[in-house]
Amino acid sequence: MTSQRQPDESADAVEDVAGGGEDDFTPAGVPDGFERLWNPHRIAYMQRGQDQVSSAADCPFCEGPRRADEQALIVHRGRSCYVLLNLYPYNPGHLLICPYRHVADLTDLTPEETVEFTRLAQVAMTALRATAEPGGFNLGINQGKVGGAGISAHLHQHVVPRWGGDGNFLPIIARTKNMAQTLGETHAMIRDAWEQAEETFAAGPADDDAPADDERPR
């Protein structure tokens, strides 16, 4: 669901709280000149927190691959891992790499899963560079609830493209991100670029980027 800026909803909320009685009572509050970006659809996630996933049966990372790519925001399906867009992106193109198996820790991956898990992050960076030309990336895995994982029960790696100036006052002051592109548009862009990104990554660096023989470590 796309959030919408609705500057007049505060007045509606006051009327709802006041109950529309005959008196002119208004709950305490000082108008501050700011608009509000209302995100009521997020309250279900916030209220349930880590408790929303107790097993593979109620895990969105396990359920996603059973759905259509567009519905689950999946941009690529591999043999043991897959790639999807983050429903709550830090930036447009914020991707998650997940194993199909319901495992919580990086050390739980098999050697084969580990190889694909890493490779998909590399291809994801290649696809994002080709489509969005970011200036850099944040890559990371939050392990465990105290480590900051939103869903700690199922391992996932973040791939976040970054651009100069993308960190402004909104996330710091208002805990709000301004998205310049819809999830559907981003999904189509990255999905369509994925096959070429795999070929580009598999080909390796261009010859002029490769170190000369006398520059190679011995």
Per-residue pLDDT of the chain (218 residues; tens, 9 = 90+): 444 444 444 444 444 444 445 566 545 554 555 555 555 545 545 555 555 676 788 888 999 999 999 999 999 999 999 999 988 888 889 999 999 999 999 999 999 999 999 999 999 999 999 999 999 999 999 988 888 878 888 999 999 999 887 765 444 444 445 455 688 889 999 999 999 999 999 998 766 555 555 555 55
Residue 48 CB neighbours (<10 A) = 11
Which two tokens mark 217? 């470590």
Task: Write out the catalytic residue numbers.
Answer: 156
**What is residue 135's predicted lDDT score, i.e. its pLDDT?**
93
Task: Compute the C-alpha angle 113/114/115, nearest 5°.
Answer: 90
Q: Say if residues 165 and 104 touch (Cβ distance below 8 Å).
A: no
Which residues are within 8 A (CB) of 151 and not within 5 positions of it... i.e. 6 or more apart? 50, 52, 53, 59, 60, 61
Q: What is the pTM of this model?
A: 0.69
Question: What is the Cα–Cα distance from 177 to 162, expressed in whole angstroms?
Answer: 13
